[in-house]
Amino acid sequence: MPRSNGRSGLEHMLNDPRTSPFTPEGAKAFRAVMDAAQMPVGEVFKHIGKSKKAPRGPTDKEKSEARIEKLEKETENTK
Amino acid sequence: MEIPIHPIPSENKPKDKRMAKLNKALPRIPSNFLIAGRVGTGKSSCLYSLLTSKAGYIVNGKSIFDEMVIFVGNGESDWAFEKIPCKNLVILHEFDNDAIDNYIEDLRKHQLERLEKKKAPLNACIIFDDMATADLIKKKAGKSPLMSLLLTSRHELNCTVFFLSQVVKSTGFQVPAVRNNITTWVVYDMSKPEAEKIIEDHCNDFEIKDLTEQYEKCMAKPHNFIVIDYRRPLDSRITERFTKVLRPKHKLLEKSEDMIEHAPQ
Is B260 a residue whose pLDDT tops 80? no
CATH number where B72 lies: 3.40.50.300
- Contact predicate B202/B243, CB 8 Å: no
Q: What percent of chain B has pLDDT over 70?
A: 91
Residues B83-97: tens digit of each pLDDT? 999 999 999 998 888
Is B96 within 8 Å of A67 when comparing Cβ atoms? no
pTM: 0.80
- pLDDT for the residue numbered A1: 47
Whether the ipTM is more than 0.90: the answer is: no
Region B115-134 average pLDDT: 88
- pLDDT for the residue numbered B147: 79
Residues B172-221: tens digit of each pLDDT? 777 788 888 999 999 999 999 999 999 999 999 999 999 999 999 999 99
> Which band of pLDDT confidence, cut at 50, 70 and 90, is reported for residue A50?
low
Q: Is residue B15 part of a domain?
A: no
For chain B, how many structural domains are there in total? 1
Is A53 a residue whose pLDDT tops 80? no
C-alpha to C-alpha distance for B116 and B8, rounded to whole angstroms: 17
Provide the domain limits for residue B179: 29-261
The A residues from 57 to 76 touching B (CB cutoff 8 Å) are 60-61, 63-65, 67-72, 74-76
**B161-182 burial code (b ≥16 CB/10 A, e <16):** bbbbbbbbeebbbebeebbebb
Nearest CB among B92, B96, B114 relative to A60 is that of B114
Residue B241 gets the label, from left (phi > 0), alpha (psi -120 to 50) or beta, of: left
Q: How far is CA A51 from the centre of its chain?
A: 7
Is B96 within 8 Å of A60 when comparing Cβ atoms? no
C-alpha to C-alpha distance for B194 and B106, rounded to whole angstroms: 37
Chain B contact set for A78 (CB, 8 A): 94, 96, 98-99
Q: Is residue B1 part of a domain?
A: no
- Nearest chain A residue to B88, by CA: A65
- Contact predicate B72/B85, CB 8 Å: no
Q: What is the mean pLDDT of chain A?
A: 78
Chain A contact set for B90 (CB, 8 A): 68-69, 71-72
C-alpha to C-alpha distance for B242 and B228, rounded to whole angstroms: 9
Region B247-262 average pLDDT: 73
> Which band of pLDDT confidence, cut at 50, 70 and 90, is reported for residue B135?
low
- pLDDT for the residue numbered A48: 58
Q: Is residue B10 part of a domain?
A: no
Q: Is residue B4 part of a domain?
A: no
Nearest CB among A68, A70, A76 relative to B67 is that of A68
Interface contacts (A, B; CB < 8 Å): 50
Nearest CB among B88, B90, B96 relative to A78 is that of B96
Region A9-18 average pLDDT: 78
Amino acid at B161: V
Residues B38-59: tens digit of each pLDDT? 999 999 999 999 999 999 999 9
Is B62 a residue whose pLDDT tops 50? yes
Q: Is residue B172 part of a domain?
A: yes
Chain A contact set for B102 (CB, 8 A): 70-71, 74
